[in-house]
A = this chain, B = another copy of it.
Amino acid sequence: MAKQITSQQKDYAQWYQDVVRESKLADHSPVRGCMVIRPNGYALWENMQQSLDQMFKDTGHSNAYFPLFIPKSYLSKEAEHVEGFAKECAVVTHSRLINTEDGKVDVDPESELEEQLIVRPTSETIIWDTYRNWIQSYRDLPLLLNQWANVVRWEMRTRLFLRTMEFLWQEGHTAHATKEEAIEETERMLGVYQTFAEEYMAMPVIPGTKTEAERFAGAIETYCIEALMQDNRALQAGTSHFLGQNFAKAFDVRFQDKDGEEKYVWASSWGVSTRLIGGLIMTHSDDDGLVLPPKLAPVQAVIVPIWKNDDEKTQVLEYAQGIQSALKEAGVRCRLDDRDQYKPGWKFSQHEVEGVPLRLAVGPRDVQNGNVEIARRHDRTKDIVPTDEIAGKVQDELKNIQHELYQAAKERMEKNTFHAETYDEFKEIINQKGGFVYAHWDGTTETELKIKEDTKATIRCLPFDYGKGVSGKCMVTGEPSIGKVIFARAY
């Protein structure tokens, strides 16, 4: 019965792999670095998509879809952009296979393309090339689009969800008449991501901006939210970029403003990906498997009926169906697991490892007493509840669990957030404890890279609420600090 899950204590990386496998979220695929997202994982992604998509639409965005392929020459139109992405591209060079004599197939050399195509690693180039045709006047602005798509970045070391060659994501691409509007949009969407992370994923994050070295290739400023995983490593959970006029200039996208002048358009782009599923796992789960926040759990409550003979079965199933109806009516995503071929114990264990927030067990005695046993996945507590109160109880519990998961994660993050005054102190914290470490930094890439080389810690962000305006001296060089910034070893 026991699932094959290594303890977090023993080997966190192995624990992660085990949880992903045992909870049936994803599999490795025969194509190195690509993953198969299994129904449990995809249902989670669908719930994330649905919530985010509504938030995008509520902030005025529409969805669209742009081509998978980008002509090679497009990438080099924005100098920094190509620098950032050229080294990890899937390149399409041919359009046909031919049969070989041994009954296999080979690339038909005669089908070589005139211009090779890149499988999109991100879509700024193809989208801004299109925007040139759509934007003529200030009346066409702002243009607020998003796309849900797959992208490919050739990665050598991959981990399911966290870093894969192909991943699913959304990418917003907006065009504005003024710099101020574009920055406002960039910040608004970071806010949307923070709200989603905290209120849906129950994952506290620190918002801020990236250093030049960690910035998106082609951006003027990259905003991010950073989360802290259970092993005290940081995870970049979402980014929103102020692109200035870089792509407008590269693709010649101008508009006639109200004042009659022709100007380049201002831009933002922003994205989150299936990587969030990795963050979700490493925020809440435990040695028994997945723990899911109710707002995103594909099944919020599972009912497991227990019987010994056919008489009991009829009775218990009817009772369980009544509970199911009551829960569905109350808007709870509820499943009655009435499968014959598995025993209740097996089901308990399976739903536990799959992270269903609430398990309701119903046996013949419960039918007699008008009760149901309710068990919480996250803290293993149980209650006996009168069945006629079950719908309200479950709704309350789901709200409580959502809140408790967030609180627990927040406390954990706070407990593992440190301040280092000297570089020795900094190194000791990073090596002994990990976590988020605030420290003074002189603002140079040189110092940043030295710290990375010494400790593998990177600057996660210049936090909005603390980074600037705190006077002090850089812990490494002693030069005047630009403020206390957040360091961590990161995924």
A residues contacting B by CB (< 8 A) are 27, 29-31, 34-39, 41-43, 45-46, 62-76, 82, 86-99, 103-107, 111, 116-119, 126, 129-130, 133, 139, 145, 149-150, 152, 154, 166, 168, 341
Instruction: Tell me whether A129 and B30 are in contact (CB under 8 A).
Output: yes
Give me 19 other A-B pairs in contact (C-beta within 8 A), A43-B63, A86-B99 excluded. Answer: A27-B130, A30-B71, A31-B70, A34-B68, A36-B64, A36-B66, A37-B66, A42-B64, A45-B65, A68-B119, A68-B150, A75-B97, A76-B103, A82-B97, A90-B92, A91-B93, A96-B154, A107-B116, A119-B119
A-B contact pairs, 17 of them (CB 8 A): A29-B67, A29-B126, A30-B129, A39-B62, A39-B63, A42-B62, A42-B64, A73-B104, A76-B103, A82-B97, A82-B99, A87-B96, A87-B97, A91-B107, A93-B93, A93-B94, A149-B150
Closest chain-B Cβ to A338's Cβ sits at a distance in Å of 14
The docked-state distance in angstroms from the alpha carbon of A36 to that of B63 is 12
A154 nearest in chain B by CB position: B95
Instruction: Tell me whether B95 and A91 are in contact (CB under 8 A).
Output: yes
Secondary structure of the A side of the interface? mixed
In the complex with contacts A87-B96, A91-B94, A96-B86, A30-B126 CB distance below 8 A: yes
A298 nearest in chain B by CB position: B62
Instruction: Count copies of this chain in the complex.
Output: 2
A38 nearest in chain B by CB position: B64
Q: Which residues of B contact A70 (CB under 8 A)?
A: 31
In the complex with contacts A29-B66, A129-B30, A130-B27, A72-B97 CB distance below 8 A: yes
- Which of B62, B88, B96, B117 is close to A96, meaning CB atoms less than 8 Å apart? B88
Most B Cβ at <10 Å: residue of A70, A73, A91, A130: A91
The docked-state distance in angstroms from the alpha carbon of A423 to that of B145 is 54
Q: Which residues of B contact A71 (CB under 8 A)?
A: 30-31
Instruction: Tell me whether B65 and A42 are in contact (CB under 8 A).
Output: yes
Q: Which residues of B contact A46 (CB under 8 A)?
A: 63
Instruction: Tell me whether A105 and B64 are in contact (CB under 8 A).
Output: no
In the complex with contacts A63-B39, A64-B38, A68-B34, A86-B98 CB distance below 8 A: yes
Q: Which residues of B contact A88 (CB under 8 A)?
A: 95-96
The docked-state distance in angstroms from the alpha carbon of A104 to that of B103 is 39
A104 nearest in chain B by CB position: B76
Instruction: Tell me whether A65 and B91 are in contact (CB under 8 A).
Output: no
Closest chain-B Cβ to A259's Cβ sits at a distance in Å of 16
- Which of B72, B139, B150 is close to A150, meaning CB atoms less than 8 Å apart? B150
The docked-state distance in angstroms from the alpha carbon of A65 to that of B89 is 21
Q: Which residues of B contact A150 (CB under 8 A)?
A: 68, 149-150
